[in-house]
């Protein structure tokens, strides 16, 4: 196995952006409150590309900058396009207003960009005007103390030969600019012309002509769905686009592209055979396409509310049918790894305008033996995601790789426990009085359980003996007197295994959980989460008693907590009552009293 350096999941999400036209008042973009804003917030993207509008009379009270401020309040940042050209579609940018624009957007400017595709605007002298405009943009930004920290992106062109004409502008850019549309092809294409024409590597080489060694931002890319629009830039079906979109962002991220703005949010006109009107993730009526669902689910999966951290390395290997298998390794701040795997093959023939059946490939993923369980998130052609939990056998997991992305979620075996995560003070377990001598029972009788109000082991409410830990309270709580959305539980006692071997313990919890066996913390996922399995492995001896402690907290929504185990000699099962003991040598058969 080779050690692979992970990158942060939040860092990947920061590379995702989308194009909008919020100032197109004669299109569906004018339905900002009813369609555009709600869908943007639903999508979850944090970067949009639009224009630095400076026409005569514009000010902060105009509808356009009001819209930008509303999105800024939701955490969205903007790359705003400037222009030095006077065209039928817009006037040149008034660079003196850029500091005002910064204020009008509440400072939510991620970057300013040079002229957009000047080589197809039909303007004489576009080359010199673009070059001088880039210099003026860069000087304006860097000579203004309020703006000087904002990066400047270079101009974009449509035709590659025009990058040679623009020449090296890296003295006036912080980022290079690419518009790399794939013409109906898949994002991993090695090109469709001489020298790898059209591939990611080819485009990056072309961008260096203008931006030198600057990092690159793709400000436009994507696919349209107007398959009947005729020859040239070919369209693709919506379900094929849903396969390609997650692969696009992952492939660009792997290639070192700093950010990718997909073109665009919505089909801005209801013209099914017009390619320019059909690049959207949303239909013209605002309903989501499969590609919207795919991108939304990708963002949701990698969302990480945790603090900044340094990603770790993970040793793994892939064997079997690995030809064309692509991968990206990410990590969240809670320690979870996410390994994205997919086939970098074409699902659509743009020349014949027909689907390509991509055969599945079988791959074996090998990890350190300390990883016991994996959750596989398999993207579908409709943009949905199927979720399945699989057990690793001696660190091995057999996978089926498709032309849709599969993401293998792996829990770090034993994350560190913070001092603040110490065990709660235990409540005395009250047993009914008995005149008989108390001896360890020959059959297990469960664990001591103490239930508390609040998420931080507040006031104890209930003490009892639980036969097993296998509870699905759904939207309720363990007792009528307890808050449905804020309670904690502490189980403790002893566990006696039947076999001398390694045991894999698996908790499934909604929300936080910690598990100690023999005073060793083997599971520690103390954060809000949907019902999620987590595993830890430990070697135990048959017939020996080991201490066991498990903490759980609920924070809003559904509540669930279970504890299972498996080993080489026994299958996966909820740890049965027969192997759990409230105490050793001080037990009675009598039911405990309540507090």
**pLDDT at residue 458, as a whole number:** 77
Instruction: Say how far apart CA 211 and CA 402 lie, in whole Å.
Output: 36
Q: For the segment 331-363, what is each residue's pLDDT rounded down to a tens digit?
A: 999 889 999 999 999 999 999 999 999 999 999
Residue 437 confidence (pLDDT) above 70: no
Residue 226 near residue 275, CB atoms below 8 Å: yes
Which among 362, 386, 410 is the end of a domain? 410
**pLDDT at residue 455, as a whole number:** 78
Whether residue 276 lies inside any domain: the answer is yes
Q: For the segment 221-234, what is each residue's pLDDT rounded down to a tens digit?
A: 999 999 988 778 99
3-state secondary structure of 237: coil
564 and 439 inside one domain: yes
Encoding tokens for residue 461? 């409410």
Q: For the segment 253-305, what is each residue's pLDDT rounded down to a tens digit?
A: 999 999 999 999 999 999 999 999 999 999 999 999 999 999 999 999 999 98
**pLDDT at residue 215, as a whole number:** 98
Its pTM surpasses 0.85? no
240 and 131 inside one domain: yes
56 and 131 inside one domain: yes
Higher pLDDT, 87 or 102: 102
354 and 429 inside one domain: no
Instruction: Say how far apart CA 310 and CA 209 lie, in whole Å.
Output: 34
CATH number of the domain encompassing residue 336: 2.60.40.1180
Whether residue 252 lies inside any domain: the answer is yes
**pLDDT at residue 442, as a whole number:** 56
Higher pLDDT, 89 or 151: 151
Residue 543 buriedness (CB in 10 A; 0-12 / 13-18 / 19+): exposed
Which among 377, 410, 443 is the end of a domain? 410
Neighbours of 260 (CB within 10 A): 26
Encoding tokens for residue 254? 């792997």
HSE, CB side, 13 Å, CA atoms: give it for residue 414.
15
Place of tokens 């409410």: 461
Place of tokens 């003490």: 463
Name the average pLDDT for the chain. Answer: 91
147 and 64 inside one domain: yes
Whether residue 66 lies inside any domain: the answer is yes
**Angle, vertex CA 582, rays to CA 580 and CA 586, nearest 5:** 130
Which among 281, 302, 323 is the end of a domain? 302
Whether residue 4 lies inside any domain: the answer is no
3-state secondary structure of 32: helix
Q: Total domain count for the chain?
A: 3
Mean pLDDT of all residues in 158-181: 96
164 and 286 inside one domain: yes
Residue 433 confidence (pLDDT) above 90: no
23 and 103 inside one domain: yes
Q: Which of 580, 460, 566, 558 is nearest to 509 (CA)?
A: 558
Encoding tokens for residue 128? 């010199």
Instruction: Say how far apart CA 419 and CA 140 lie, in whole Å.
Output: 50
Q: For the segment 182-209, what is each residue's pLDDT rounded down to a tens digit?
A: 999 999 999 999 999 999 999 999 999 9
Residue 336 near residue 412, CB atoms below 8 Å: yes
Whether residue 2 lies inside any domain: the answer is no
344 and 393 inside one domain: yes
Provide the CA 53 distance to its chain's centre, in angstroms: 32
Instruction: Say how far apart CA 110 and CA 496 lie, in whole Å.
Output: 58
Residue 512 confidence (pLDDT) above 80: yes
Residue 236 near residue 350, CB atoms below 8 Å: yes
327 and 471 inside one domain: no
Terminal alpha carbon distance of the chain: 53
Whether residue 102 lies inside any domain: the answer is yes
Residues 6 or more apart from 522 whose CB is under 8 A from it? Answer: 413, 414, 505, 515, 516, 536, 537, 538
21 and 161 inside one domain: yes
Mean pLDDT of all residues in 526-550: 91
Alpha-carbon separation of residue 465 from 431, 462, 583, 586 (angstroms)? 10, 10, 11, 14
Q: Confidence band (pLDDT; 50, 70, 90) for 439?
A: very low
Residue 144 buriedness (CB in 10 A; 0-12 / 13-18 / 19+): middle
Sign of CA dihedral 51, 57, 60, 61: negative
Whether residue 19 lies inside any domain: the answer is yes
333 and 185 inside one domain: no
CATH number of the domain encompassing residue 562: 3.90.182.10
Place of tokens 């001591």: 448
Domain that holds residue 234: 12-302
**Residue 17 pairs with which residues in a beta bridge?**
261
**pLDDT at residue 412, as a whole number:** 56
Q: Which of 52, 42, 64, 50 is nearest to 17 (CA)?
A: 50
For 68, phi then psi, to 5°, come to -60, -40
Whether residue 148 lies inside any domain: the answer is yes
Candidate from 199-213, 247-261, 447-461, 510-524 with smallest mean pLDDT: 447-461
**Angle, vertex CA 21, rays to CA 64 and CA 141, nearest 5:** 70
CATH number of the domain encompassing residue 284: 3.20.20.80
266 and 356 inside one domain: no
Residue 537 confidence (pLDDT) above 60: yes
């Amino acid at each position: 196995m080779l050690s692979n350096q992970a990158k942060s999941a939040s860092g990947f999400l920061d590379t995702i952006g989308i194009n909008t036209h919020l100032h197109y008042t004669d299109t569906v973009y004018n339905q900002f409150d009813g369609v555009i804003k709600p869908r943007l917030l639903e999508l979850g993207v944090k970067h949009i590309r639009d224009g630095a509008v400076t026409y005569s009379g514009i000010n902060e009270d105009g509808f356009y900058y009001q819209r930008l401020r509303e999105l800024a309040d939701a955490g969205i940042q903007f790359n705003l396009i400037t222009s030095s050209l006077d065209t039928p579609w817009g006037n040149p940018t008034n660079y003196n207003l850029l500091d005002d624009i910064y204020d009008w957007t509440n400072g939510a400017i991620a970057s300013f960009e040079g002229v957009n595709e000047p080589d197809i605007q039909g303007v004489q002298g576009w080359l010199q005007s673009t070059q001088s405009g880039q210099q003026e943009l860069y000087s304006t930004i860097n000579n203004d103390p309020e703006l000087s920290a904002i990066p400047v992106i270079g101009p974009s062109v449509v035709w590659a030969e025009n990058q040679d004409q623009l020449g090296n502008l890296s003295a006036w850019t912080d980022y290079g600019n690419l518009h790399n549309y794939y013409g109906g092809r898949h994002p991993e294409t090695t090109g469709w012309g001489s020298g790898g024409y059209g591939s990611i590597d080819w485009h990056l080489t072309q961008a260096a002509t203008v931006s030198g060694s600057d990092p690159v931002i793709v400000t436009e890319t994507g696919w349209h769905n107007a398959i009947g629009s005729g020859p040239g830039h070919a369209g693709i079906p919506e379900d094929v686009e849903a396969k390609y979109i997650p692969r696009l962002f992952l492939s660009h991220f792997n290639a070192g592209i700093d950010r990718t703005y997909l073109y665009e949010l919505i089909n801005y006109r209801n013209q099914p055979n017009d390619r320019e009107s059909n690049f959207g993730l949303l239909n013209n009526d605002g309903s989501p396409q499969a590609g919207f669902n795919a991108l939304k689910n990708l963002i949701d999966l990698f969302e990480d509310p945790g603090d900044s951290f340094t990603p770790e390395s993970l040793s793994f290997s892939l064997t079997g049918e690995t030809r064309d298998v692509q991968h990206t390794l990410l990590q969240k701040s809670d320690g979870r790894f996410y390994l994205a795997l997919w086939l970098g093959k074409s699902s659509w023939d743009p020349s014949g305008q027909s689907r390509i059946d991509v055969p599945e490939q079988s791959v074996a993923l090998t990890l350190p033996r300390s990883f016991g369980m994996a959750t596989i998130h398999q993207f579908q052609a409709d943009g949905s995601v199927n979720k399945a939990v699989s057990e690793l056998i001696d660190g091995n997991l057999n996978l089926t790789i498709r032309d849709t992305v599969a993401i293998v979620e792996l829990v770090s075996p034993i994350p560190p426990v913070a001092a603040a995560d110490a065990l709660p003070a235990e409540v005395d377990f009250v047993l009914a009085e008995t005149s008989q001598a108390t001896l360890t029972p020959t059959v297990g009788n469960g664990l001591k359980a103490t239930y508390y109000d609040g998420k931080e082991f507040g006031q104890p409410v209930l003490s009892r003996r639980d036969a097993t830990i296998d509870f699905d309270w759904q939207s309720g709580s363990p007792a009528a007197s307890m808050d449905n959305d804020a309670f904690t539980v502490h189980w403790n006692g002893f566990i006696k295994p039947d076999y001398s071997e390694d045991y894999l313990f698996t908790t499934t919890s909604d929300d936080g959980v910690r598990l100690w066996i023999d005073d060793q913390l083997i599971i520690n996922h103390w954060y809000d989460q949907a019902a999620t399995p987590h595993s830890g492995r430990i070697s135990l001896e048959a017939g020996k008693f080991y201490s066991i402690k498990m903490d759980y907290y609920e924070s809003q929504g559904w509540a669930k907590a279970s504890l299972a185990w498996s080993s080489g000699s026994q299958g996966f099962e909820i740890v049965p009552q027969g192997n759990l003991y409230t105490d050793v040598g001080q037990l009675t058969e009598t039911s405990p009293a309540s507090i």
